[in-house]
Amino acid sequence: MLTSIGREPLRRYCCPMNATVKIAYDVYRGKTDPSLRLATAPGARLPAHINAKDWVLMPAGKSPLHSDAPKDIGVQGYCFFQVSKGK
């Protein structure tokens, strides 16, 4: 069915589209203190006020993320956190 402007009407979905999206963030490890982490959006690199020679990019999936990381990265562009050794 065509509308008055010649395009098809928008489709209406019967169910909400709530898909969970998992983003793989870039996580950097501190050189002086290996327990310090800094997470950024994928491909965003380090923030301008951070000295790049003090941080090393970790391989994907090698560091746990803080539970607030997605929110902090969305607001500030990065998230600092510290990894504690578990028993």
Is the whole model's pTM more than 0.75, yes or no? no
Q: Give the tens place of pLDDT for each residue, 40-69.
A: 999 999 999 999 999 999 998 888 888 888
Residue 47, both tokens: 């923030």
Whether 87 has a pLDDT exceeding 50, the answer reads no
Query: SS3 helix, strand, coil % of the chain, rounded to 5?
Result: 15, 20, 65
Residue type present at position 47 = P
Quote the CA–CA distance of 40 and 50 in Å, as a whole number. Answer: 12
Q: Give the tens place of pLDDT for each residue, 21-35.
A: 677 899 999 999 999
Which residues is 79 bridged to in the sheet? Answer: 39
Residue 29, both tokens: 């490890």
